Amino acid sequence: MNLDVAGQKVVDTDLVVDPAKLAHLAAALGTDSAAETALLLPFFAATAAGMDSVIAPLGLDLRRALQGGQAFEWHRPFRPGETVHLQVVIADLIEKNSTAFATVIAEFRGADGELIQRQRTMFIERGEA
Protein backbone atom coordinates (compact mmCIF):
# COMPACT_ATOMS: atom_id res chain seq x y z
CA MET A 1 0.00 0.00 0.00
CA ASN A 2 1.25 3.48 -0.84
CA LEU A 3 1.62 5.23 2.54
CA ASP A 4 2.54 8.52 0.84
CA VAL A 5 -1.07 9.34 -0.08
CA ALA A 6 -2.24 9.89 3.52
CA GLY A 7 -4.25 13.11 3.69
CA GLN A 8 -4.66 13.39 -0.08
CA LYS A 9 -7.91 14.09 -1.91
CA VAL A 10 -8.15 11.37 -4.56
CA VAL A 11 -11.63 12.09 -5.95
CA ASP A 12 -13.29 15.46 -6.58
CA THR A 13 -16.10 15.02 -9.09
CA ASP A 14 -19.81 15.38 -9.79
CA LEU A 15 -22.14 12.41 -10.20
CA VAL A 16 -25.77 12.11 -11.23
CA VAL A 17 -28.14 10.01 -9.15
CA ASP A 18 -29.41 7.96 -12.07
CA PRO A 19 -33.10 6.99 -11.72
CA ALA A 20 -32.54 3.86 -13.85
CA LYS A 21 -29.74 2.68 -11.52
CA LEU A 22 -31.95 3.38 -8.50
CA ALA A 23 -34.70 1.25 -10.05
CA HIS A 24 -32.19 -1.54 -10.76
CA LEU A 25 -30.94 -1.42 -7.15
CA ALA A 26 -34.50 -1.43 -5.81
CA ALA A 27 -35.36 -4.44 -7.98
CA ALA A 28 -32.29 -6.28 -6.71
CA LEU A 29 -33.29 -5.57 -3.10
CA GLY A 30 -36.79 -6.87 -3.81
CA THR A 31 -38.47 -5.64 -0.62
CA ASP A 32 -41.50 -3.44 0.01
CA SER A 33 -39.19 -0.61 1.09
CA ALA A 34 -36.57 -1.15 -1.63
CA ALA A 35 -37.24 2.14 -3.47
CA GLU A 36 -36.69 4.15 -0.28
CA THR A 37 -33.65 2.06 0.68
CA ALA A 38 -32.06 2.64 -2.74
CA LEU A 39 -32.16 6.40 -2.08
CA LEU A 40 -29.99 5.91 0.99
CA LEU A 41 -27.09 4.16 -0.73
CA PRO A 42 -26.93 4.52 -4.52
CA PHE A 43 -23.10 4.75 -4.44
CA PHE A 44 -20.20 2.90 -2.83
CA ALA A 45 -17.80 5.81 -2.56
CA ALA A 46 -14.63 3.79 -3.09
CA THR A 47 -15.79 2.89 -6.61
CA ALA A 48 -18.33 5.64 -7.41
CA ALA A 49 -15.83 7.52 -9.58
CA GLY A 50 -14.44 4.30 -11.04
CA MET A 51 -12.73 1.42 -9.31
CA ASP A 52 -9.23 2.81 -9.79
CA SER A 53 -10.13 6.24 -8.36
CA VAL A 54 -9.28 5.04 -4.83
CA ILE A 55 -7.61 1.65 -5.38
CA ALA A 56 -4.87 3.00 -7.67
CA PRO A 57 -3.69 5.91 -5.46
CA LEU A 58 -3.61 3.54 -2.48
CA GLY A 59 -1.59 1.06 -4.52
CA LEU A 60 -3.90 -1.56 -3.02
CA ASP A 61 -3.11 -5.12 -4.07
CA LEU A 62 -6.60 -6.63 -4.24
CA ARG A 63 -5.17 -10.16 -3.99
CA ARG A 64 -4.10 -9.38 -0.41
CA ALA A 65 -6.75 -6.84 0.55
CA LEU A 66 -10.11 -6.84 2.25
CA GLN A 67 -12.63 -4.30 3.39
CA GLY A 68 -12.21 -4.01 7.14
CA GLY A 69 -15.26 -1.90 7.89
CA GLN A 70 -17.84 0.51 6.57
CA ALA A 71 -19.73 3.29 8.34
CA PHE A 72 -22.38 5.67 7.05
CA GLU A 73 -23.60 9.02 8.28
CA TRP A 74 -26.87 10.00 6.61
CA HIS A 75 -28.15 13.57 6.51
CA ARG A 76 -30.88 13.08 3.92
CA PRO A 77 -31.76 10.66 1.12
CA PHE A 78 -30.37 11.15 -2.37
CA ARG A 79 -32.86 12.51 -4.91
CA PRO A 80 -33.39 10.83 -8.30
CA GLY A 81 -31.82 12.88 -11.08
CA GLU A 82 -29.89 15.24 -8.81
CA THR A 83 -26.23 16.04 -9.37
CA VAL A 84 -24.10 15.47 -6.29
CA HIS A 85 -20.49 16.37 -5.59
CA LEU A 86 -18.22 13.61 -4.32
CA GLN A 87 -14.92 14.17 -2.54
CA VAL A 88 -12.85 11.23 -1.34
CA VAL A 89 -9.87 11.70 0.97
CA ILE A 90 -7.37 9.13 2.18
CA ALA A 91 -7.76 10.17 5.80
CA ASP A 92 -5.30 7.85 7.48
CA LEU A 93 -2.75 5.20 6.57
CA ILE A 94 -0.85 3.10 9.04
CA GLU A 95 1.35 0.07 8.80
CA LYS A 96 1.61 -2.40 11.63
CA ASN A 97 4.10 -5.20 11.19
CA SER A 98 3.47 -6.22 7.57
CA THR A 99 -0.20 -5.20 7.45
CA ALA A 100 -1.38 -1.80 6.17
CA PHE A 101 -4.63 -0.06 7.12
CA ALA A 102 -6.24 2.77 5.11
CA THR A 103 -9.18 4.88 6.25
CA VAL A 104 -11.00 6.52 3.36
CA ILE A 105 -13.58 9.28 3.95
CA ALA A 106 -16.09 10.20 1.25
CA GLU A 107 -18.55 13.06 1.34
CA PHE A 108 -21.50 13.50 -0.99
CA ARG A 109 -22.94 17.01 -1.16
CA GLY A 110 -25.91 18.50 -2.97
CA ALA A 111 -25.70 21.38 -5.45
CA ASP A 112 -26.17 23.80 -2.54
CA GLY A 113 -23.22 22.29 -0.64
CA GLU A 114 -25.48 20.49 1.85
CA LEU A 115 -23.96 17.28 3.20
CA ILE A 116 -26.04 14.32 2.04
CA GLN A 117 -23.90 11.44 3.24
CA ARG A 118 -20.47 10.65 4.66
CA GLN A 119 -18.96 7.20 4.20
CA ARG A 120 -15.94 5.89 6.10
CA THR A 121 -14.28 2.79 4.67
CA MET A 122 -11.37 0.82 6.11
CA PHE A 123 -9.18 -1.19 3.76
CA ILE A 124 -6.69 -3.72 5.08
CA GLU A 125 -3.83 -5.14 3.05
CA ARG A 126 -2.04 -8.17 4.44
CA GLY A 127 1.69 -8.41 4.05
CA GLU A 128 3.18 -10.92 1.68
CA ALA A 129 3.56 -14.39 3.13
Q: Which residues of 29-68 are buried (b: 16+ CB within 10 A; e: fewer)?
A: eeeeebeeebbeebbebbebbeeebbbebbebeeebbeee
Q: CA 36 to CA 48: how far, in whole Å?
A: 20
What is the arithmetic mean of pLDDT over 84-108? 95
What is the arithmetic mean of pLDDT over 89-113? 95
What pTM did the predictor assign?
Answer: 0.89
> Model confidence over 42-73: pLDDT tens digits?
888 888 888 788 999 999 999 999 999 999 99
Domains defined along the chain, listed by start: 3-18+45-125 (3.10.129.10)
> Model confidence over 20-50: pLDDT tens digits?
999 999 999 999 999 999 999 888 888 888 8
